[in-house]
Amino acid sequence: MLRRQAFARFNCIITPKAITRSKYSTVSGSDVARTKVPFKNITIFGSGMMGSGIAQVSAANEYHVNLVDLNKGALDRSQQYILSSLKRIARKKTTDERMQTNYIDEVLSRINFTTESEHAVASSDMVIEAVVENIEIKQNLFKSLDPMASPQTLFVSNTSSLKIKDIFRDVSEKRKERIGGLHFFNPVPQMKLLEVIKTDTTKQEVFDTLFNYGVSVGKVCVVCKDMPGFIVNRLLVPYMLEAVKMLERGDASAKDIDIAMKYGAGYPMGPFELLDYVGLDTTYFVAKGWYEDSEIQKMELVKPPSVLKKLVEAGNLGIKSGKGFYEHRK
């Protein structure tokens, strides 16, 4: 996402019996045995909700994590966010307070909150970025990390809208064999889906490792080609934009469109509720980026509606600003 780390919290429901089994299993948890991954040390850049969530689920599944941010205040907030999330999970696991505390302490003991990127990267088997959705920032980050990391280290992006190949444009040719995408969904501890992306330079064994890592942290994994938006957001963003265009044309009200999609299509949220939840700026900048500079540019399907642009320019961004298509209590 552009300018935001959190994006689609749209719940994907997959019925295991309906899945045609392939080389890769798309079910996790109790449905299949979790696959062992031949590494344990992960470094995550970006301690926002996405980075914190990835750190939490990794540490909860016995990975050792360095969570890196430039700002110590951001790391402190991340630690509190993870602690709060772990408390909720611990209470669901057991009513025994001692066991709850032991579980929380054990997971937190595997997360190192740090501003020291070079040392963290040097000891890591995999580096994941979960920084702001700006391609230049991502490119510069990986370009600077490339010489610090072991030649065997995997480089991974959590982008939700940008092409993986473009993000790794400036790393060495050898490193390009060891890149990929792991698109988690927010909030990471609750959302089961993980999109696993392979580029045309990614070695098959690297892709297999990334997929198995996803299974090992309890995610339902799906395979996707390296394209803007991957599976979910490639379908979800045009859907939300079309809803705005319906409103713009006067076809129906936002409320009636939301009610129609919830009760007619069975969606957990209507498109305008989802837009406010995700952030109008998030959706606008994703659509703008796709429409102006991507392989799907100038497609009417992703053209940002003027109503959406006006709301963003006015600072009406949804729940986070108190107002979007609906009014929200802050």
Q: Which residues contact 198 (CB under 8 A, 6 or more apart)?
A: 180, 181, 207, 223, 225, 226
Angle at 63 between CA 58 and CA 68, to 5 degrees: 70
Identify the bridge partners of residue 195 per DSSP, sorted by sequence position: 183, 222
Residue 90: its H or E element: helix 72-93
Quote the tokens at residue 141.
Answer: 């980050």
Q: Judge whether 157 is annotated as a binding position.
A: no
Helix (H) or strand (E) holding 225: strand 220-225
> Catalytic site residue 160?
yes
Catalytic residue, candidates 58, 78, 233, 316: 233
Tell me whether residue 173 is annotated as binding: no
Question: Does 212 participate in catalysis according to the annotation?
Answer: no
Is 49 annotated in some ligand binding site? yes
Catalytic residue among 78, 157, 183, 316: 183
Question: Quick check: helix, strand or coil at residue 41?
Answer: strand
How far apart CA 100 and CA 103 sit, in angstroms, is 5
The answer to the question of whether 165 is labelled as a binding residue is no
191 has binding-site annotation: no
Match 């490339």 to its residue by tokens.
Answer: 146
* Whether 183 is catalytic: yes
Select which of 25, 28, 117, 195 is catalytic: 195
Does residue 23 have a known ligand-binding role? Answer: no
Distance CA 7, CA 280 (A): 11
Q: Which alpha helices (H) appear in 135-279, and where do they start and end?
A: 135-145, 164-167, 204-216, 232-249, 254-264, 271-278
Q: Is 22 annotated as a binding residue?
A: no
66 marked ligand binding residue: no
Query: Which residue in 117, 160, 216, 321 is the catalytic one?
Result: 160
Residue 73 known to bind ligand? no
218 annotated as ligand-binding: no
84 annotated as a binding-site residue = no
48: tokens are 């926002």
* 102 labeled part of a ligand binding site: no
Dihedral (Cα; 108, 67, 183, 282), 10-degree rounding: 110
288 is in an annotated binding site: no
Residues in the annotated binding site for CoA: 85, 92, 160
Residues in the annotated binding site: 46-51, 69, 85, 92, 133, 138, 160, 186, 320
- Which residues are known to be catalytic? 160, 183, 195, 233
Residues in the annotated binding site for NAD(+): 46-51, 69, 133, 138, 160, 186, 320
